Amino acid sequence: MTTTHCPYCALQCAMHLEPGPNGALTVRPADFPTNRGGLCRKGWTSAEVLGTPDRITSPLLRKDRNAEFTEVDWDTALDYVAERLSGLRAEYGPDAVAVFGSGGLTNEKSYLLGKFARVALGTSQIDYNGRFCMSSAAAASMRAFGLDRGMPFPLTDVGEAEVVLLAGANPAETMPPMMGHLAAPTLIVVDPRRSATAQQALAQGGMHLAPRPGTDLALALGLLHAARIQHLLDADYIAARTTGFDAAWAQAAAWWPEQTEHVTGVPAHQIRDAARLLAEASSAYVLTGRGTEQHAKGTDTVSAWINLALALGLPGRRGSGYGCITGQGNGQGGREHGQKADQLPGYRKIDDPAARDHVAGVWGVEPDTLPGPGRSAFELLDALGTETGPRAMLLFGSNPVVSAPEAQRVRDRIAALDLLVAADFVLSETAAMADVVLPVAQWAEESGTMTNLEGRVLRRRAAAAPPAGVRTDLEVLNGLATRLGQPADRFPTDPDAALAELGAASAGGAADYSGVTPERLEEGEALHWPVRAQAEATPRLFLDAFAHPDGRARFTPVAHRPSAEATTADYPLIATTGRLMGHYQSGAQTRRVVELAQAEPEAYVEVHPDTATRCGLSNGAWARLTSARGTTVARVRLRADARLDTVFLPFHFAGEQAANNLTNPALDPTSRMPEFKVSAVRLEPAAHHTEGENL
């Protein structure tokens, strides 16, 4: 039996894996603070995907995009990739090659992928799909607290709270075991939908605030206003531990509850009641998720929620606080160690001379050989194959033709590349477009570390050997790096060796992992970063001071502004997107699990019955949704509690059923997060669509 952690979300539930009678791994939940012996249906079925019939076990190569793939040996595949990369770099420069990573990669992979891009390739063109996950909360936390760790406290603390406000989060579907920590607190759920979490809140005597999509920032300003006019702010805390309140209040002063109701649709009495409930609690938390982040103003919106939390005196207090619910399995660790375009290991900025000196010293290169900041995720994808953009891309663990906004535009850009290389275990929709596909080991077949939503570094353990012919991502990076002229020992294939180097590179940085060792992990120590060498871990941040030089948190003055796209006569409805309990991200894994695929086999759109009637639709009919960017088809599900002006689609499906055919790539100016949550659409019957088409 091997004890490890689930391959999916950032809750990183613990589980036991053991071989069954047929040799396939079976799953049992393990007791662990985050899941407390529970698993969701994705976790229970997670081992099934390892044996999917279409798993790739030999490298695939084609020299003509119109040809079929041919199985080749590893030397042939890696030689071909290295030769093509060398030629493109020689002709167009190092930025002719892009690298696109994933929030699902281990810390060791994330670290070496960033090192590979900047040292072996010399490119600045690296980013990852975590940019689509919680980059807005990261930016807002950095400017408020001087540090970004999703939850700066253990999840178990939340279960002891009296009140928890969840803004744009639906853990009842996305992280079901987390709901065990939310059974005791009174919940205030902010969500345009009557989600499963909102239903649970109401069942527990809590509240559901349902703002119009894109108006969360106004609601947060209104709650701050309501708290102040009811004399609920913590003046002593504001004076002792923060700066900038007056400027933030100047923005909130105009948002009295009735004005907020006019813009958001949330009744004024609910705004007053929610502010009072949160402020009068003996312990309370404000937690944000993707629903409040994935907007072209997501950073400012999260800042507004942080301002509310600061005004009530919550962050940096035992039993209270602000936190962000990280989505992807290693969304936290994935951005700390070099996959983001502007970062080096340890959460260091790539344009900081001291950071460059330190990391270059660990890597054994000159600081001036390291590139500067590159393009953010969507900007990188949108530049592919253009005259000034990358001509080749290496893709690790991501499926952007399904997961990126304005998906058809991304497909077109990827199709324009001279070379696409995908490291994957199946032909995902993006891997199917590649010139070379490199089959790589999966979560239960290799070891490494992950960092969960609490900033806790976890040990992932191998429970089985990968299929014959399959290599690890670390072996792939080593094989390519040596062919590009790098010494073999610069890119270790042993995860523990990579972890030790990561520790040295991150030492002294904000996300310091220098004290994370296999021995401490095996002993079961709770290692919340920063974990400095010879020092204790840090489960609770900010109890004594925030990470700014003066030790104070910063209020950020933010103003509400409309979404990047408004409804029109041609596109009269708002489409918003989200996740289902049974599927994960682009669905490349979960759509291959029979039980999950049978439970949710196709895309659907939630519509209010009156809206459906006006559009000529009935329950179960196929509908076509069209935005200014593209179309998608989905099965109609009538919801009497849906907003009349809003429809909801899950984003796990591909082809004609891809929700991101509709979504808007308008970017947040700070985080570069796209506006996934608000798209103006029209809804109509889907003529001639046949069931099961283009799943």
Domain-located, residue 551: no
On the question of pLDDT at 20 being above 90, the answer is no
Considering the domain boundaries, does residue 526 fall inside one?
no
Last residue of a domain, one of 15, 34, 51: 51
Q: What is the pLDDT of residue 689?
A: 60
Query: Is 691 a residue whose pLDDT tops 60?
Result: no
In tens, the pLDDT along 323-367 reads 999 889 898 888 899 999 999 999 999 999 999 999 999 999 999
pTM of the model: 0.96
CATH of the domain at 89: 3.40.50.740
Residues 57-112 have pLDDT tens digits of 999 999 998 899 999 999 999 999 999 999 999 999 999 999 999 999 999 999 99
**CATH code of residue 620:** 2.40.40.20
Q: For residue range 187-243, list pLDDT tens digits in order.
A: 999 999 999 999 999 999 999 999 999 999 999 999 999 999 999 999 999 999 999
Task: Give residue-wise pLDDT tens across range 390-417.
Answer: 999 999 999 999 999 999 999 999 999 9
* Residue 108 placed within a domain: yes
* 521 domain-assigned: no
Beta strands of 479-617 (E only): which ranges? 527-528, 553-554, 573-578, 604-607
* 461: pLDDT strictly greater than 90: yes
User: Nearest CA to 284 among 305, 253, 255, 256?
Assistant: 305
Is the pLDDT at 692 greater than 50? The verdict is no
User: When comparing pLDDT for 168 and 690, which is higher?
Assistant: 168
Looking at the structure, tell me whether residues 367 and 319 fall in a common domain.
no
Task: Give the pLDDT confidence score for residue 693 in this predicted structure.
Answer: 43
Tally of domains in the chain: 4
Determine, yes or no, domain membership for 544: no
By percentage, how much of the chain surpasses pLDDT 90?
A: 94
Lookup: tokens for 41: 């249906």
Statement to judge: residues 393 and 468 lie in one domain: yes
Model confidence at 247: pLDDT above 60? yes
Average pLDDT over every residue of 508-527? 92
Averaged pLDDT for residues 488-517: 97
Domain of 40 in residue numbering reads as 2-51
DSSP readout, 382-449? Answer: HHTTSTTS-SEEEEES--HHHHSSSHHHHHHHHHT-SEEEEEESS--TTGGG-SEEEEB--GGGS-EE
* Of the residues 273, 290, 324, the one at which a domain ends: 324
Residue 409 covered by a domain: yes
CA nearest neighbour of 558 among 225, 256, 250: 250
The reply to whether omega before 530 is within 30° of 0 (cis) is yes
**What is the pLDDT averaged over residues 113-126?**
98
Looking at 444, 467, 494, the residue that finishes a domain is 494
* Assigned domain for 523 exists: no
Cβ 505 vs Cβ 111: under 8 Å: yes
